[in-house]
Structure 1
Amino acid sequence: MFVLPPPPPRYTVPVAYAAGASNGMAVPVVETNNIISHPEGGCSLQAGEGTYLLRDDLHLATPPPHPSEAPVMNPNPLATVPAPPTSGVKLSLVSIGSRLKTPTPSVDGTGAASLFGDGNPALAAPPVKEGLKRRKPKNNIIKSSSSFVSRVITHETATKRLNDRNPDGLFAFANINRAFQWLDLSAKQKEEPVTKILFTKAHMISHDINELTKSASHIDVVMGSSAGDIIWYEPMSQKYARINKNGVVNNSPVTHIKWIPGSENLFMAAHANGQLVVYDKEKEDALFTPELGSPSAETMKSSSGRQPLQILKSVNSRNQKTNPVALWKLANQKITQFAFSPDRRHLAVVLEDGSLRVMDYLKEEVLDIFRSYYGGLICVCWSPDGKYIVTGGQDDLVTIWSLPERKIVARCQGHNSWVSAVAFDPWRCDDRTYRFGSVGDDCRLLLWDFSVGMLHRPRVHQANARQRTSMIVSNTQHLNRHRADSGGNRTRSDSQETADTYNSYDPTVRHPVEPRARTALLPPIMSKVVGEDPICWLGFQEDSIMTSSLEGISQPEISS
């Protein structure tokens, strides 16, 4: 008789910080300092533009659990108890100068899209008394007495470092468990954080920087936590504000957060209960109840199979004194990520139920629902021209979708585990050819090049595929005609429609899963294991590629 031992544990609970045991008690490892190394002759990546060599490998210090957390003495790796939500190291990059200005290819469209909420006078921004001076949060995070913030550590020469640095240098904001670090990647001692914030129990899962409001004296950062609380943080002044405090609007974890393009105050947060919530950083919170005319709880349960979007509060509502500005429910499953299109009109949302939902978020409509080959979808991004959407998920595939044609373009096979992040390289995309990368739990970085002309479907089912495509196009044209005919009569202002009105018209096209035999298959141009830990973030620079794993950051740089 053979006994199969359980696999070694991969802890996502506080005991993960324990290196061993003494008298039956876990001994925590307290890492106080980041560690940087510069490997020579290590990981090299071959691509058409040259060879990428690993320049920096930065290991972020893992914070110990807060003393108020009860240690788990005998963790069972096979236990089915849900672990607290967490994420690996994610980065938000910003340059005050011109370094991060990326190429801007032409975007299809008749003109610039209006801003979110422009038609609602209740959302008109009040005049700023300080002139051009940006509003900052009210509370000092260093002197904070809040139980949410445990400790703040600032560099002893932080002011001098900020005054002497190159304005074109790169700032990075990084999360690791309950710690949030502000790093200067252009400094000689880039491993020394300018500021390090330790939260009491909450883990910061996602964060974003407002590119519109950044300046030499101001950076707006929002971060969403595993507790559901959101922090608006201004690092230059060390001021902060707490939004959705104690989950007053939504008490589920924030899985993804982004500033709404073109807005100084509004940002969008995805929550683990399937809701998208728009907040205003300067508004107070209030206990949220669905507005009059929105579907009731019973209506949502009965119509969840038909209605892809329940508007619990519309952006056109006149009740805009408190947060939320808008609140939409997409599903009962977790929203894993979303991305705004370059034309500032469309929103691509991926969910744990395996769906990709393309929204016209200005009109609060879901236009298309696509499905993964199997399993949930984890990550999503747009091509720089807004024509294509790329997703990755639990089916180990990267998938390319066409927005104009409203169909799948190709599946990209090369990963051996879940795909955790995808991103386009805007410096190597043009009107005909696209470059994007993907990373996953298999510790691999893959690069992909594609153009429409190089994609070919399998010959066996070309006739059937051609017929299927024409049917989808015909349905799409009919949908567009119906939308044009009825667009003038459809209004959602004041959120005063009845529940029946919400179900009277559904503009969504639900696309079936395309069989693999009818879908083009794209191989990677480069595949490389770049570490020992699962990779969870990917970003492109003009001369380098940055990745982050569960414990740190690496930056291969191109060398000719």
Structure 2
Amino acid sequence: MINSSNGMISTSSTSANTQSPGLKTYFKTPEGRYKLHNEKTHPSGLLHYAHGKTVTQVTLAIIKDKPAPSTPTAPPSGFSTGSGVRSAAARLLGASNGTRALSFVGGNGGSKSISSSSSSRIGSLGTSCSSNSMINSNFDGKGTYLIFNVGDAIFITDLNSQDKEDPIKSIHFSNSNPVCHAFDQDAKDGHDLLIGLSSGDVYSVSLRQQLQDGGKKLVGAHHYNKDGSVNNSRCMSIAWVPGGDGAFVVAHADGNLYVYEKSKDVAGDSSFPVIKDPTQFSVSHARYSKSNPIARWHICQGSINGIAFSTDGTYLATVGRDGYLRVFDYSKEQLICGGKSYYGALLCCAWSMDAKYILTGGEDDLVQVWSMEDRKVVAWGEGHNSWVSGVAFDSYWSSPNSDGTGENVVYRFGSVGQDTQLLLWDLEMDEIVVPLRRCPPSGGSPTFSTGSQSSHWDSVIPVGTLQPAPSMRDVPKLSPVVAHRVHTDPLSGLVFTQECVLTVCREGHVKIWMRPGASDSQSGNSETISSTSLKEKPLLSSKIGSSTYKQ
């Protein structure tokens, strides 16, 4: 039975009893102790081999009050809809029962009004757009949910529930596996969830409608790139364009990224010309104005492993199998800058709230801090013992020594890896020494400067330049303030919220770690925490989990 009465998580938890041997239920930081609050996972009956070729990613999703009834209008045949935000968007709503609610916050993106349901959008992957299943029309779906993929299924669980293995909804795909998904908390058209498959197919659906339906197939789905008609390579990441009025992008394993607009025709002619030079970035647009996708961006020759938009949608960052971070001016479709990892592929990326810094992680076991003002790596985080699979800035954390000017003097960020560890880092601006030039103009030692010196780089690094891997001696090193083994399996992602940190492993287990003082303040307190505006604190990483792992 679905509990839609509130969006809170009860403070009671049995997680300590289910914790794996050898793993502590807390970890200490300079600001206090983080405590394991709860765990979520897939049904215990799921066969282990079914996990197979996919890695779990997690999306937090909130469904607001049911919208007021309106007169539906039928869209043109093939009219496409969809809305969501990859990074994951969510918060826990106010609650009753004498507890405080957690505030999960995130998401950015746009949407337009639509009406859905068309039998012509029935896909060949075991999904359905019309259902004969029992539908609870009185269920408005209000609440906060955890969406995650395992094997050939998408699971949806209510974050209010204290049961560990309690998915209230499962959606199965017959011929392909879901590998990435995105949710738009502020979608105005009903279609708020995107799902990308290993076959390249993409679906947009209404999460509320899925919860109302009693079946195990998608209902009311709009189907993009059907049967891989445009691109049959694996979907690697999906992200909604912040402020894009319904535009979203899908990155594929063949190095191409496609731009969609939900107001365009799903089934229109969307063929693109042959890529002339696979080694160069190029953009091609659809020949017809009503086609979807509307554009193809050829990024690189290998897989695009992760994508992330800056908060305002100005910049798009991609990381790939070729080891390069690339930063684009999205609206201008222009490559701005980028650089190579120290070694191997890059797997994940995330933006700071002020869009000044980008985090990347990958096969060199390092966390790179890239400066947009300096257009280069300004710090390396050393501490992981295996590939780094997830990175994120903690936009809710503030330094105890903050100067109150509004300028960030310390950035807190986190990373997770296949070494099963969560690492927390503090990046202090006044301690970063940035090389201004690779070589001095007249011999001697390189010139250095503290802080940002973009004016120097403007004359040194032309727009669109991809830099080689920096020398180890040229990059300042960071050490983590916390290193804690949080799971027994390799980790695939993390999410910072106002009151907790979520970690997820590749096998489909999610843990909720309460911030210092948060769990104590909940006990016996009936106050409800006010919801934080998504515009103030969006989740900046469009990718919570990584799809590339050691085999």
**C-alpha displacement of 1:137:** 3.2
| Residue 249 of structure 1: how far off its partner (Å) | 1.3
Pick aligned residue for 2:359 from 386, 390, 393: 390
Mapped pair 1:451 → 2:428: yes
Distance 1:140 1:534 in 2: 41
Q: 1:535 to 1:155 in 2, by over 3 A?
A: farther
Counterpart pick for 2:408 among 431, 434, 438: 431
Q: Deviations over 1:301-349 (max 9, x none)?
A: 5xx2xx3x11122xxx673211111111011100000100113211111
Choose the corresponding residue for 2:481, options 525, 530, 544.
525
Instruction: Structure 2: give runs of 5+ residues left out of the alignment.
Output: 1-12, 66-90, 93-102, 211-219, 399-406, 518-551
Q: Which of 24, 42, 67 in structure 2 is aligned with 1:60?
A: 42
Distance (Å, rounded) in 2 between the aligned partners of 1:158 and 1:556: 34
What is the identity, as a one-letter code, of the residue corresponding to 1:312?
S
- Greater radius of gyration (CA): 1
Query: Does residue 403 in structure 1 map to residue 403 in structure 2?
Result: no
| Unaligned ranges ≥5, structure 1 | 1-35, 73-82, 105-114, 117-124, 129-133, 481-506
Give, in whole Å, the separation in 2 of the partners of 1:156 and 1:415. 49
Task: Give the counterpart of 2:348 among 379, 391, 395.
Answer: 379
1:66-111: CA deviation from partner (whole Å, max 9, x where unpaired):
9xxxx99xxxxxxxxxx9852224334336387557599xxxxxxx
Instruction: Supply the RMSD in Å over aligned alpha carbons.
Output: 3.7
Q: State the distance in 1 between where 2:316 and 2:342 align.
A: 21
Partner of 1:326: 295
Residue of structure 1 equivalent to 2:266: 284
Counterpart pick for 1:204 among 152, 159, 178: 178
Question: What is the aligned residue count?
Answer: 437
1:346 to 308, 312, 315: 315
Paired residues for 1:29-428 under 5 Å: 37-39=14-16, 42-61=24-43, 85-94=53-62, 96=64, 99=92, 134-139=113-118, 146-149=123-126, 162=140, 169-189=143-163, 191-213=165-187, 218=190, 220-238=192-210, 239-282=220-263, 283-290=265-272, 296-297=274-275, 299-301=276-278, 304=279, 307=280, 309-313=281-285, 319-428=288-397
Q: How far is the alpha carbon of 1:154 from its aligned partner?
A: 12
| Cα displacement (A) at 1:155 | 11
Cα gap change, 1:451 to 1:157, in 2 (>3 Å): farther
Which AA in structure 1 matches 2:198?
Answer: S
Q: Is the 8 A contact 1:150 1:199 kept in 2?
A: yes
CA contact under 8 A between 2:337 and 2:464: conserved in structure 1?
yes
CA shift for structure 1 position 552 = 1.2
Q: What is the TM-score normalised by the length of structure 1?
A: 0.70
Task: Kindly state the Cα deviation for residue 61 of structure 1 after the two structures are TM-superposed.
Answer: 2.6
For residues 145 and 360 of structure 1, the distance between their equivalents in structure 2, rounded to whole angstroms, comes to: 36
Give SS of 1:412's match.
strand
Query: Contact (CA 8 Å) 1:210, 1:264: kept in 2 or not?
Result: no
Q: Residue type of the partner of 2:512?
A: Q
Deviations 1:1-32 (A, max 9, x none): xxxxxxxxxxxxxxxxxxxxxxxxxxxxxxxx
Cα pair 1:354 1:372 within 8 Å, conserved:
yes
Q: CA deviation at 1:468?
A: 11
**Could you list the per-position Cα deviations for residues 449-483 of structure 1 after superposition, in whole angstroms to 9, with x for gaps in the alignment?**
1121123479xx99744279999955624777xxx
Query: Could you tell me how far apart the structure 2 residues matched to 1:184 and 1:154 are?
Result: 24
Q: Once the 2 structures are TM-superposed, how far is the Cα of residue 518 of structure 1 from its aligned partner?
A: 1.4
Contact 2:434 2:448 in 1 (8 A): no
CA contact (8 A) 1:277 1:326 kept: yes
Percent identical across equivalent pairs?
30
**How far off is 1:157 after superposition?**
10
Contact 1:102 1:426 (C-alpha < 8 Å) held by counterparts: no
Cα shift at 1:145 = 6.6
Counterpart contact for 2:54–2:177, Cα < 8 Å: yes
Query: Could you say what secondary structure the match of 1:532 adopts?
Result: coil
Secondary structure in structure 2 of the residue aligned to 1:427:
coil
Kindly tell me: are residues 475 and 135 of structure 1, through their superposed partners in 2, closer, same or farther at Cα, counting changes over 3 Å? same
Deviates more, 1:328-337 or 1:234-243: 234-243
Higher mean C-alpha deviation, range 242-251 or range 277-286: 277-286
TM-superposition CA deviations, 1:389-409 (whole Å, max 9, x none) = 000000000000100111111
Going from structure 1 to structure 2, the CA distance change for 1:274 and 1:177 (only over 3 Å counts) comes to same
Partner of 1:502: none
Runs of 4+ deviating beyond 6 Å:
150-161, 467-472
SS of 2:289's equivalent?
Answer: coil
Taking the aligned partners of 1:204 and 1:57, their CA distance within structure 2 comes to 22
Q: Distance in 1 between matches of 2:196 and 2:421?
A: 27
Specify which structure has the higher proportion of helix.
1
Change (3 A) 1:145 1:388: closer
Q: What CA distance in whole angstroms lies between the structure 2 residues aligned with 1:344 and 1:471? A: 24
Name the TM-score, length of structure 2 as normaliser.
0.71
CA contact (8 A) 2:148 2:508 kept: no
